[in-house]
Amino acid sequence: MTLPSLTWFPKHRKGISWALVSGFLLHYRIVIQLEGRYLLARFGEVCAEYQKKVPHFIPRLSLLKEPDFYQVNVRVYRRSLLDATMFIWLYILFHFIERLQQMDVLPILFRVP
């Protein structure tokens, strides 16, 4: 059995993208409805009141209620901050290495397509 050629993909990628996005949205809508029914059966009136206030698909930021004060564990906050800044430092490092390779200061050992 031979596999079909994928040469048609670049010509039709916009249609395929729309089909994938449409399929995902349809699937997601069905999942939301099924989950809503399950939660309503499980939690009853509390869930019904919640579902009346909160939109199912697109969040409404006007409903967001934040406290005036957050209590934070400093050790966990510091660790999370270091984890997040590590990505920024790696991004800077990789671009610095790329720049040195473009200037022929560092050799290119391998290429990732």
Domain ranges (residues) in the chain: 12-60, 73-113
Spatial separation of the C-alpha atoms in residues 76 and 88, rounded to whole Å:
19
For 60-82, the pLDDT digits (tens) are 888 888 999 999 999 999 999 99
Are residues 33 and 51 in contact, defined by beta-carbon separation less than 8 angstroms?
no
At 31 the pLDDT is: 94
| Local structure of 37: helix, strand or coil | helix
> Terminal CA-to-CA distance of the chain, rounded, Å?
29
Question: With bands split at pLDDT 50, 70 and 90, how would you rate the model's confidence at 4?
Answer: low
For 11-68, the pLDDT digits (tens) are 667 778 888 999 999 999 999 999 999 999 999 999 999 999 888 878 888 888 899 9
Strands (E), the chain: none
Spatial separation of the C-alpha atoms in residues 47 and 49, rounded to whole Å:
5
| Local structure of 82: helix, strand or coil | helix
Are residues 47 and 39 in contact, defined by beta-carbon separation less than 8 angstroms?
yes
Structure tokens at 29: 């809508």
Q: Please name the residue that has the structure tokens 């399950």.
A: 38
